[in-house]
Each structure stands twice: as C-alpha cells, then as structure tokens.
Structure 1
Amino acid sequence: MIRLPQLDLARPDAFPDPSHALAEPNGLLAFGGDLSATRLLAAYTRGIFPWYGQGQPVLWWSPDPRCVFDVAALHPNRSLRRMLAHSPWQFSVDHAFGQVIEACAAPRGDDDGTWIVPDMIDAYVRLHAQGHAHSVEVWDGTRLVGGIYGVAIGRLFCGESMFSRESNGSKVALMALASCLRRWGYPWLDAQVSNPHLLSLGALEMPRQMFLDHATRCTGMPPDPQAWRTQHRQPVAALLPDA
C-alpha cells in the first residue's frame, strides 16, 4: 500500500520530488499543508499545483505528461480570425481578477466547478494582490463574456482555469493571454492536465521531466518590467496576426 506524503505546515517550501508522484491517479504527489503564498509559489516553481474538491484535504499534483502551450505557436485559427475581425469585443489585463476566478468557479453544464473551492478563491485573490496571480478578461461592452487566470513566476505562466459566457469567450481570452506572453518573452503556458478541448486548441503533451527542466529555466528568468501592468482595454481585432 502506497503512503502519500503529508506536507508539514511548518515548512511551506518543502515538497517531495515530482518524480515520486503516483501514476494512478496520474501525478498525485502529496496532501495537506495550506494555501499560503509562500507554499503556492514554491509549488509552482517546482512544477506542482493544488487541485482538490470541497471536503477534501489540499491535494498536490505534478502529472506526467504535462499539458502545455507553446506560446510562439498559439494563434487563432481561420474561423476565430474571422470572428475577431468583426467582433466589437475588447480584452483587458488584470482589470477584474475577482470576477474571473468567481466565473471560473461557477457551475457549468458539464462541470460543477467544485475544485475551485472558496479557500482556493481566497488564496489566489491574495496572490493577485501580491502581484503573482493575473487574469485576462474579454468584454462585450460592460459585460464580462470570457476570461482566464493563473500564476506568473519569472517567465512561466501557469494557467489555472478559463470560462465563457458567450461562444468563443474563453478562446479569445486564451489568444489574448498568448499575445501578451509572446510580447513579454514567456515561452510556455502551462495548462497542467491534458483534455480533448485543450488539445483541440493547440496544446501539447510534454514529458514531466522535460516540462520541469523548462520550468526551472523560465522561473529563473526576470520578468519583463512592463508585464502585467494594467492597460486600457484593446479591441480583440488587435489579436489578428497581421494587426
């Protein structure tokens, strides 16, 4: 019987080696600890993230393979380009982090969203206030129609969740995030766990050790000083490759 390591509350930067994660369920590494900023940043730097449901202890994961986007290769497809060219929507950065994470946590038709539990929301709102967690929002006038949020360390962005209230809302948010990351010199967007939807958008499956090597390099790079500064909203047509 395999005993899962329990994290020590007194050592927020201590995690098992990701190579010790279980194969089934894929990537489960440890449990316990807390969601302090120190522990979360230590986890993401090591390619580890929390993912658990209401009523469970905090569970920590590092799956193999890892799902990632190559930021340089992430561009809108033909149908999305047509939509962007004629849409009145706009996008913004860090204008409505709280609204985005609440929307990601809301029940959906095929997913009750329960893994983004209230303690997770509180923890990431604190990370955002400290400048580590960020969001991209998509707007139709004053209405938020899509968004994505995650954690930035060095020049690695670890995506957590995205949502749509209108068709293509999350896709536009993803493309807006990729556009920003390219401009700021982020090579990879971590998408954590593979699924058919992410793969259809252009995500890749990368062996865990290869991802960890990239993560070590990227988290050690200084961020662009212009990154994540609040900007004016921009039209989504600015995301077109020739814009």
Structure 2
Amino acid sequence: MRFSDKVAVVTGADSGIGRATATRLLAEGATVFAVDVHHTQPWPEPDAGRLHLLDLDVADPAAGERLDAHLRAAAGHVDVLANVAGILHIAPFLEVSREDWDRVLAVNLTGVFFLSQTVARLMVEKKTAGRIVNVSSVHAVVSEPNAAPYTATKGGLEAMTRTMASELAPHGITVNCVRPGATRTGMSEPIYTAQIVRSLLAKIPLGVIAPPEWVASAICYLASDEACYTTGACLDVDGGYAMDGSLPGTIYS
C-alpha cells in the first residue's frame, strides 16, 4: 500500500502499460485519474470511488487545463504523474509525411511536456514532493528502422526528463524515466509477427517478451517514496536488450 492517500494521474490508461500502471496504483491504495482518448475497457470499481476516468487527448492544447480543473475539483492536489500515452507510426524514413511526424510528436513529446508542466505547477503550488515518471523506449538508444518519428520522440523525452529533473529538484519533485524493451501491448502486437518474435527472443538475453505489468512495476517503484533519492535517471526494463553486444547463436572460444 505504498500509495495510500496519494493521487496519481496515468495517461494512456485504457490499455497496455498505462492500464497495468493504473491497476497497480489502485491496488496499492492510490486515487487514480486514468486518462485516455477514449475508454473502451471496463474497470472494476475500487472502494470509495478512487478511480476517475478522463477522456482526454494528451495532444490537445486544452488537455492540461482540463486535467487541472478535474484535479482541483476532485482531489485538490496530485502526487504522481505517469506519462505512458504514446503512438507509433511505421513508415520508411523517406516516406514519412509532415502530418504523421507532427502527430507522433504531439502525443509522445509535446503532450508529455505540457501535461507535466500542468501537474508540476499544481505540485509546486501545494508544496507536494511529487513524482513524475516518463515512459521512453529501448529505441531511444537502439535504432528501429521505419519508426523515425517514434525514436526521435523517445530520445527527446529522455533529454527532457533530465532537464525537468534539474529544474524541479528544488521543489522536491523527482522526474525519472522508464525505458521498456519488447513488451506485449496493443500498440506492439500488430508488428510482433512470428518472425519478429523469433528475432527478438534471440536478441533479448533473458529470452522473453515482457507483459505490461513488468514495466508497470518499474514505473510504480520510481513513483513511490522508495525512489525518493533518484531523479533524472532512466531505468532499463528490457531483459538486457540494449546492453547486450553478443552475437546470437555465436559462442566465443
């Protein structure tokens, strides 16, 4: 029950890592504002009405103002923000349109910036030693062909995390990042063909593709008081994918 009496906001909460994170926070006592463009999956109602479903597009310039109004009306403060919402556009670099580029950046980077700004302002106003956790990707540091806008946003997100951490540290607010590897979510499943899965399992030292709950565990650690002395960090949750330099199937002698 690390989050008893805590108020948390989770974006991308209708499915995947966002859903797993919101579920874990609820299970550990938090009041959760679950944010997504549209909520399509049923939720069990926790005790005392601790779940608030908000239909918000994080790319909407008005999203921050609307979230702030909900938080002030229903809770009065906020302790945790988990920026999980993200989209992936698959196209060769030479064929990416400006529209596709702008949409991926609006959700994965611009939306994170301005929702974090909204939440951080409320934390500072209420003198809350809050936690902001951003969700990057192994592809911030490992190339992913045909996903240039996505990889650009994840690299930018990690750099932005460090700057946010520096600026918000005097207010007692920590800002950290989780860097997932291969994870089974609604976004990733369409590209996880049998061939891709075989290649991934050969590349990942621990030999498994993660369920979203494993990433949610890392997010909740960084969102908890257990991580009170960690800020500006990026935690790999990738089964060893990014660090491994071995050649699959090759034995050195």
TM-score, normalising length: structure 2: 0.27
Please state which structure has a larger fraction of its residues in helix. 2
Greater relative CO, 1 or 2 (CA 8 Å, sep 6+): 1
Please state which structure has a larger fraction of its residues in strand. 1
